[in-house]
Structure formats: C-alpha cells, structure tokens
Structure 1
C-alpha cells in the first residue's frame, strides 16, 4: 500500500523533472524563433491571472509547501529573480535537490500531523495526508498545468507526453481533428 511519501515526493520529482525537460525544449524553440524569453515569461491567460513565471514559481512552492509541514520544517521558499528560463531552471534545480534529500524515514508519523496553511485568503486545516492529497497536489498540478498551457499558447512544440512522460504519438498526429471533426464556436447562442 502506498504511503504519504509515495504519493508525494516521487510524484513531485517526476513532474518537476518533466518540467525541466519542457523548459529546455522551450528555450531551444524560443531561440530558434527569435522570441524574447521575457515575452513568454510574462504571458498570462487573462490580466487578472499570474503570468508563466509565477505559475511555475507557485508550482515549485507547492511541492515544498506540501512536504515541509509533514516534516515539521518551516516553509522556506526560494524567491530568486525570474528574468529568464535559466533562472526558472535554477529555482527548479534547487527545488528538486531539496526534495531528493527527503526520505521515507522523514515521513514517519507525519500522516496524522495537523497542518494549517493559507489557501488564498482562507485558512485550510487538515491532517497531513488530506493536506497533501486534497490541497497541495491539486494546486501543484493546477499551476503546472497553467504553465504548460501558457507554453502551448506561446507556440512551444511540447505535448502531453512531455508533461506526463507516458503519452507517445507519431509525428503529425492531430487528435483534435480525430475527435472533433468540425470546429464549434467558443460561445453558442441559444435560440430566441
């Protein structure tokens, strides 16, 4: 049976490693296209949403915010500047290194600990296992997914396989065409 360590640390490490690969592809793509990195790093879906560089920073933060309360360690987030993809990769490398230093032994007895954390302007309080599985992991994936979406929006040649490391498709496969043959309007008008 999986324990709290199994459903957290290896999951964070896998997806942060995948993010590093995605960022490498992104840097290469932007260089080939002659696109300024800052243009993409500041890209947001809406004016009231965080830009790419903050989506990544928040995802990295959730991996630490998930683990440190279980270990009864203070949450110390890396707040270095993000002006380039290399800056993100440096923060990412630091986060991965911190997580690699966490062992299963460190989690002993941690599942039952009560964790109290800010969730926006609210306060979320739960046992560590609920905190990690129902709050931290979903928020990590939300912000990671937002970062992925922003990179796709910017035209970066990445796919679902880059995100999860499992999916593989032949070059040129267009699943949208196969699933949805005719484009539909974004907003459909109701009769009358």
Structure 2
C-alpha cells in the first residue's frame, strides 16, 4: 500500500460521513422544530468545544495533514461558519482540497521530516509516518467522533454506520 493510500482515503471517508451526518441533522432540526444554532453551539461537556468548532478542526486536520505530509503550503481557513449549510460547504471544500493531491506527492512522505506547531510558540518535528499516526489521525478522529457524539447526544438519529459512511 502506498503512503497516499494510507492517508487520503481515510480523511475522505470521515469528511464524507460527517457531511451525511450534517444532512441528517438538518432534517432532524426541521422535523423536531429545533433551531440549528442550538445544535451548532452544543458541547458534550462545558469545557469542550462546540459542534461548529469540532467540524472546523476535522477539516483543518485533514487539509493541513495532507499539506504537511506532501510539504505543500499549509492552508489557512478562517472559522466563519454559522450554519449547517456553511459547515457542509467547508467539508465540501476540504474534500475537494484533499482530492486534489496526487499519489506521487506522498512518495517518501512517510520518512520525511514534518514540522508542525504544538502551541503558540512551539513546534515539533516528526517523520511523516509518526506525524500521521501520533498527531494528525488522532486529532482528526478525536474531533470527528466528538462531533458525532454531540449530534447523537442531541437526538440526531445517527449511529456507527453513519460515522463509518456505510449507512
């Protein structure tokens, strides 16, 4: 398996599944007469980030992960989304960005150094494979599953199959 095949399909699977979950969220809000903003601001616990920020971070980790692993310019996307539609558009933009990478861009990326921020004034350098396994994927999946948990906790009828994109 190529490094590209280990990275890009994994990001795309979850980005697409979150898009589907947000579509179900729109229907849930309409059926239950819930203002979507209520869910967008929901958290699993008061000190955790709200749904909107969880989705934004999923997108950031996918886009920045691909960029760093291919030594491409790291994109910066302002966090301006205030609706489910805008979050779905951010997911769509991220999906298109991730799809724009070609397998050859990842060649040797598993062994190349990746330097990334780990705080306001600190950076860390890891080999690509270690960066993917110890930083990018764990953060990406953490925020994706937290977004899923927020939606499920608030009554959106989604489950594991939705998260895995097989519903």
Q: TM-score, normalised by structure 2?
A: 0.93
Residues 165-188 of structure 1 show CA distances to partners (whole Å, capped at 9, x for unaligned) of 34x7xxxxxxxxxxxxxxxxxxxx
Structure index of larger Rg: 1
Higher relative CO (CA 8 A, sep ≥ 6), structure 1 or 2? 2
Equivalent residue, structure 1, for 2:145: 145
5+ residue gaps, structure 2, are none
Matches for 1:22-171 after TM superposition, within 5 Å = 22-120=21-119, 123-166=123-166
Q: Conserved in 1, the CA contact under 8 Å of 2:67 and 2:73?
A: yes
Q: Distance in 2 between matches of 1:91 and 1:131?
A: 24
Residues 123-147 of structure 1 show CA distances to partners (whole Å, capped at 9, x for unaligned) of 3320011101221011100000000
Matches for 1:181-192 after TM superposition, within 5 Å = none
RMSD: 1.5
Distance 1:50 1:80, change over 3 A: closer
Paired residues, what number? 166
- Structure 1 stretches of at least 4 aligned residues deviating more than 6 Å after TM superposition: none
5+ residue gaps, structure 1, are 169-192
Q: Conserved in 2, the CA contact under 8 Å of 1:78 and 1:91?
A: no
